[in-house]
Chain A
C-alpha cells in the first residue's frame, strides 16, 4: 500500500517541480540582467546554474506526467480525457504530448533545454551577452510556465477517478505522433534562441561578425528541426488521412510554415552578418519576427480563433493569455529594436551585383512569401472584423499567390550562389551555368511533349528542379578549380559548402516532387468486385477479399488487394478501415506501394448495396521526392552545423574571457 501511494505521489512531485522551475526561471530572468547592467560577475553567474536547474526540474516534471500516462493513472484529469488502458504502450507514451496541456509542457521543456544548452556551450560568449541571452530565454520560460500553471495545468486531479479513460483521438494513434510534434517544437522553440540573442544584442547595443557566427548555429538547428517536423507531419497526413494530400494550406500548417520561411531567410542573412558585417539590423529584425511567428503559430493552434482541421483545444481564454505573451515579447522586442537599430552600422561595402545582393534577394522573396501566407491565413479574420464578410481562404489562393515566389527563388538560386562576395561580374557567374540552363529547358520541354494534358505545372516543375539541382552541383564542382587532385580538394571543402550543396539540391528535389505530384496524379474511384481485375494508369488492381479483424483497441475491415503490372505481381496491399469504439471514430489506413517514380495508393471504402466494395486508387508520381528533398535539406543543415568554425565558436575549448564590451 505504501508503495502504491508513493508511486502516485510522483505526480505531485512533478507538479511541485514545475512550480519550482517557474520560480527558478523568475530568478534567472531578473538577477543576471541586473548583473550584466551593473557588471557584477556574481550576479551574472547565477544564470548558468539556474538554466541547468530549470531544465532538470522541467524534465522531471515532464517525466512524471509521462509516467502517469504509462501507468494509466486516471485520477489525473488529463490522462482520463486522453488515454485508455487498452491503448498500445507507444501511444500511451506519445499521448503525453498528444493534447494541449501535455504539449505545452513539452514546449516549455524545450525552451529550458535550449536555455541549458546555451549555458553549457556558451562558454565562449562575452559574459554580459551570455547573461543577457539566458535572462531573455528565462523570460520566455516564465511566460509559458505561468501559462501552463494558471490556464492549462496538466497535473489537475479528478475527485472521483473513473475506471477507464476516454481514449486518444484515433487519428493521433500513429507513430507520427511520437516524432512529429517533438521535432516541430524543437524547431519552433529553437527560434527562441535566435530571439534571445537578438534581444540581448539590442540591450548590449552591438552586433558584429562574431554575433552572426554565434546566432547562426541556433538558427540552423531550429530550421533543421522545423524542416524535419514539417516533413514528418506532411508525410503523416499523406498516409493517414486517406486521400493522399500532403499539404492543405490549413492555418495550423501555415503556422509552422511561416517560421520555417523566416528561419530560412534568417540563416542566409546571418551569413552576411558573419562574413561581411552588413544587413545587421535586418537580421535582428528577422530573428525577432521568426520567433514571433512561432508564437503566432502556438496562438493559432490553441485559440480556436481560426478554424482548422488540427486545432487542439479551442479555449478563447487561453488564446487571450497567449496573445498577451505575444504582445509583450513582440512589442518589447520591436520597441527595443526601434530604439537601438540605428546604432548598428553596416561595415561591409559591396556592389549591386554580388553574393550579398543575391542573399538580399533571397531574403526579400522568402520574407514576402511568408507575408503572403500570413495575410492569407489571417484574412478570414480581417474580413469578418472589418468588412463583415465571412469567407474562407484555401488552397486555390495559396497555390496561386505563393508559388510564383518559389519559382523566382528557384530561378535565381544557382546564379546567386555562384556569385562571389563584394563585387561580381554577372556574365562570369552565369557562364558555367548556361549549358545547365539549356539542358533544364530541354528536360522541361520534353516533359511537355510527352505528357497527355496541356498543364504547364509538371514541365515547369521538372525544368526548375533540373536547373536548381544541376546548377547547384556545377557551382559546387567549380569550387575546386581544375587539374589533378580535384576529387581530393572536393572532399576537403568546408562542411558548410557541402551543407549548402546538399540543402539546395534538396530544395530542387522537393520542388520536383510537389510539381510532379500535383500535375500528374491519377485518381480512380470505383466499385470493385472480388476477383475482377481493373486497370489504373498501367497497373492492374484486383480485390481478392475483404475480412474483418479485431485490433487492440479498434475493429478493422481489411481489403486484400493484388497490385500487378504487365502480368507480374508487384505487391500485396492491405488497406484498412478502422473503427475505434471508445472514441466512436472511424479512420482509414491507406495501403501504399512506395517507389521512387510513383506511389500506388489504395483505400478501401464501404460495401455497396449492389455488391462489391468501393475502392479508391491513386497513382502519385514523384511523391517521395518531396520527403527525400526535405531530408536532404535537413541533412545539408546538419552538415553546415558541423562545420569547424561553429564548433570553435560554440566553445569547444575554453578561451580567456576577460574582455568586456565597451558601452
Chain B
C-alpha cells in the first residue's frame, strides 16, 4: 500500500480535461466557454483541442477562457486574445484570411471543376455512336463470353 501511495504522489497530474473546479457558475457562460475550448488548440500537445487535453497549459487556457468570458468578452475577442499571444496556430481551424482562402475554396472549386468535366464527359458519351466492336480473336471472344457468363 505504501508503494501505491508513493506512485500516486509522483503521478498527481490531472488525469482528464475539464475539472469541476474550473467551471463557471453560470451554465450559459460555461456552455460558451466549452464551445470555445473546442476551437482552441493545446499548443504543447499533439493535435488536441484545449477541451480534451490534460496538459497544464490547456488547463491554464481553459481558466483564461473562463476569466475572459466572465468579464464579458465576445467569442471573437477571446480568440483574438489567444491569437495575439500564440499566433493562429492556436486556432483549431484557421480563419479564412489571406492564403487560407485557398484552403476553404479548394473543395468548392474542385467540385465545380469536377462537375464541368463530368458533364462534358457524360454529354460526349450520350452523343457518340457505339464504336465498332474492337477486333477480338475467336479464342478471346469465346473466353470473354465464358468469363462473363453468369
A368–B13 CB distance below 8 A? no
Q: Is residue A616 contacting chain B, with contact meaning CB distance below 8 A? A: yes
The interface centre, meaning the residue of B19, B100, B126 with most chain A CB atoms within 10 A of its CB, is B126
**Contact across chains for B20 and A608 when beta carbons are under 8 A apart:** yes
B8 — which chain A residues lie within 8 A by C-beta?
Answer: 555, 579
Enumerate B58-101 residues with CB–CB distance to A below 8 Å. 87-94, 98-100
- B92 closest partner in A (C-beta): A394
Which residue from A393, A548, A645 sits with its C-beta under 8 Å from B4? A548
Contact of A606 among B19, B91, B111, B126 (CB under 8 A): B19
Per a CB cutoff under 8 Å, which of B47, B52, B118, B148 touches A213? Answer: B148
Q: Across the two chains, which residue of chain A brings its CB closest to B127?
A: A349
Query: Are B19 and A392 in touch, CB under 8 angstroms?
Result: no
Query: Pick the contact of B7 from A347, A367, A391, A581 — CB < 8 Å?
Result: A581
Asked if B114 and A367 make an inter-chain contact with CB atoms under 8 angstroms apart, the answer reads: yes
Q: With A309-B47, A608-B21, A655-B146 as given contacts, are A393 and B103 in contact (CB-CB < 8 Å)? A: yes
**In whole angstroms, what is the CA distance A250 to B41 when docked?**
13
Question: Chain B residues with Cβ under 8 A from A356's Cβ?
Answer: 122, 125
B144 near A605 with CB under 8 A, answer no
A278 and B122 CA atoms in complex are apart in Å by 11
Residue B104 CB within 8 A of the other chain: yes
Partner of B47, one of A124, A250, A584, A606: A250
**Binding stretch for chain B, among A84-92, A284-292, A375-383, A459-467:** A375-383
Contact A662 B140 (CB under 8 A): yes
Residues of B within 8 A of A565 (CB): none
* Partner of B148 from A210, A243, A251, A311 at Cβ < 8 Å: A210
For residue A56, CB closer than 8 A to chain B, the reply is no
Distance (Å) between the CB of B50 and the closest chain A CB? 11
A588–B52 Cα distance when bound, in Å, is 13
Q: Produce 1/0 per residue, B133-147, CB < 8 A to A.
A: 111010110111011
Does B118 contact A360, Cβ atoms closer than 8 Å? yes
Residues of A within 8 A of B149 (CB): 648
Please tell me if the beta carbons of B125 and A349 are within 8 angstroms of each other in the complex.
yes
CB within 8 Å for A375 and B106 given contacts A350-B125, A588-B16, A606-B15: yes
Known contacts A209-B148, A606-B19, A649-B147: A352-B123 contact under CB 8 Å: yes
Q: Are B92 and A368 in contact (CB under 8 A)?
A: no
Instruction: Chain A residues near B140: list those with CB within 8 A.
Output: 659, 661-662
Chain A residues, CB < 8 A from B34:
523
| CA of A496 to CA of B76, assembled, Å | 52
Q: Which of A278, A526, A579, A644 contacts B20 (CB 8 A)?
A: A526
Asked if B99 contacts A527 (CB within 8 A), the reply is: no
Nearest chain B CB to A609 CB, angstrom units: 8
With A and B bound together, what is the CA distance between A11 and B133 in angstroms?
58
**Does any Cβ of B come within 8 Å of A564's Cβ?**
no
A233 to B52, CA, bound (A): 18
Stretch from A12-20, A102-110, A112-120, A395-403 contacting the other chain? A395-403
B39 contacts which chain A residues (CB < 8 A)?
Answer: 396
Q: Report whether B144 and A208 are in contact in the complex, using a CB–CB cutoff of 8 Å.
A: yes
Identity of the chain A residue whose Cβ is nearest the Cβ of B140 in the assembled complex:
A659
Assess whether A352 is in contact with B122, with CB atoms less than 8 Å apart: yes
In chain B, what residue has the closest Cβ to A278?
A: B125
B107 touches which of A371, A586, A605 (Cβ 8 Å): A371
Contact partner of B144 among A210, A364, A395, CB < 8 A?
A: A210
Find the A residue at minimum CB distance from B112. A368
B147-A213 in contact (CB<8A): yes
In the complex, are the beta carbons of A605 and B15 less than 8 A apart? Answer: yes
Which single member of B19, B104, B146, B147 contacts A614 (CB below 8 Å)? Answer: B19
In the complex, the chain B residue whose C-beta lies closest to that of A644 is B150
Given A391-B88, A392-B92, A614-B19, the answer on whether A383 and B46 have CB atoms closer than 8 Å is: no
Residues of A within 8 A of B48 (CB): 309
Contact partners of A395 in chain B: CB under 8 A: 38, 49, 92-93
- Would you give the 0/1 interface string for A351-393, flagging 1 where the beta carbon is closer than 8 Å to chain B? 1100011001100100111011001100100010011011111
Tell me the bound Cα distance from A237 to B38 in angstroms.
18
Q: Which of A346, A391, A405, A550 has the most CB atoms of chain B within a 10 A radius of its CB?
A: A391
15 more A-B residue pairs beyond the given contacts A307-B46, A364-B118, A648-B147, with a C-beta to C-beta distance below 8 A: A210-B147, A243-B51, A348-B130, A371-B107, A375-B106, A379-B103, A391-B87, A391-B91, A392-B93, A394-B93, A396-B93, A527-B21, A605-B15, A616-B16, A659-B139
Query: Would you list 16 pairs from A and B whose C-beta atoms are within 8 A, ordered by A residue?
Result: A278-B125, A309-B46, A347-B130, A350-B125, A352-B126, A356-B125, A368-B111, A372-B106, A375-B103, A391-B89, A394-B47, A405-B107, A605-B19, A605-B20, A648-B150, A655-B143
Sorted nearest first, the 7 A-B pairs with minimum C-beta distance are A394-B92, A397-B93, A372-B107, A396-B93, A387-B99, A391-B94, A659-B139
